[in-house]
């Protein structure tokens, strides 16, 4: 398995506050280029037979207006779909709903993926974890996508499970946290608070603390 910490450096991240439906919302933006063409990357992101190879099993109707559900994770509605360039879905867990927009653009011989996650995050949760809570999960997903695109084969669940218990996984979580900390600082967060958010997030991901409730 490739060096996961090194892979973190292939992604750029930013955090900002925007307006969504007349209310303030948090916007996280991630970009990374993959050495494949837009058609292949689009297929990896939208084909229900291929999504489980790098992410999670998905059910439902993946056409515009259809409802989808990722096993044990988010579900929502497909709001826009412009293959092979852009799709937008609602992203709901419990009572929390956010909006996910993925855009693909040619980047020389590669394809640039832009992932925008906009959500009306409860104030208490944002104060505790900032962008790290969702950001770390997206970093893991993008890393898994990169592994899959190298061969087209499914990522080995046993290998991934072993990795999750490894020192490399801890280094990945810390590296992701520090990367999102930099984005948090650029958004004007106090340095001590940004560092505390990272520590709280890593504690949840490593089982040292209880995860926040989504109900």
Q: What is the pLDDT of residues 134-183, one digit of tens each?
A: 999 999 999 999 999 998 889 888 888 888 888 899 999 999 999 999 99
Higher pLDDT, 2 or 148: 148
Q: What is the pLDDT of residues 50-107, one digit of tens each?
A: 999 999 999 999 999 999 999 999 999 999 999 999 999 999 987 788 999 999 999 9
Please compute the mean of the pLDDT values over residues 191-196 and round it to a whole number. 95
101 half-sphere exposure, CB direction, 13 A CA radius: 10
Beta bridge partners of 28: 15, 117
| Residue 24 maps to a domain | yes
| Residue 44 maps to a domain | yes
CATH of the domain at 16: 3.30.530.20
Please compute the mean of the pLDDT values over residues 15-37 and round it to a whole number. 93
Please compute the mean of the pLDDT values over residues 99-119 and round it to a whole number. 97
pLDDT of residue 74: 95
Q: What is the extent of the structural domain holding 83?
A: 4-205
| Residue 69 maps to a domain | yes
| Residue 32 maps to a domain | yes
pLDDT of residue 73: 94
C-alpha distances (whole Å) from 155 to each of 34, 131, 158 are 17, 27, 9
| Residue 213 maps to a domain | no
Total of domains in the chain = 1
Which residues fall within 8 angstroms of residue 215, CB to CB, at 6 or more apart? 94, 95
Residue 140's CB is within 10 A of a number of other CB atoms, namely: 19
| Residue 174 maps to a domain | yes
| Residue 214 maps to a domain | no
Higher pLDDT, 102 or 202: 102
């Amino acid at each position: 398995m490739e060096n996961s910490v090194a892979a973190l450096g292939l992604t750029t991240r930013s955090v900002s506050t925007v307006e969504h439906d007349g209310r303030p919302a948090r916007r996280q933006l991630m970009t990374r280029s993959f050495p494949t063409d837009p058609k292949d990357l689009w297929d990896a992101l939208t084909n229900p037979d291929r999504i489980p190879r790098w992410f999670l099993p998905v059910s439902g109707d993946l056409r515009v207006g259809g409802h989808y559900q990722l096993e044990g994770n988010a579900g929502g509605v497909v709001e826009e779909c412009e293959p092979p360039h852009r799709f937008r879905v609602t992203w709901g867990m419990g009572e929390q709903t956010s909006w996910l927009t993925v855009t693909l653009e040619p980047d020389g011989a590669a394809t640039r993926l832009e992932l925008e996650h906009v959500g009306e995050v409860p104030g208490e949760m944002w104060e505790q974890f900032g962008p790290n809570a969702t950001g770390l999960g997206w970093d893991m997903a993008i890393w898994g996508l990169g592994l899959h695109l190298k061969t087209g084969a499914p990522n080995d669940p046993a290998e991934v499970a072993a990795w999750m218990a490894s020192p490399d996984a801890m280094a990945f979580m810390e590296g992701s946290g520090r990367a999102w900390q930099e984005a948090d600082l650029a958004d004007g967060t106090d340095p001590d608070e940004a560092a505390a958010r990272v520590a709280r997030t890593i504690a949840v991901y490593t089982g040292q603390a209880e995860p926040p409730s989504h109900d």
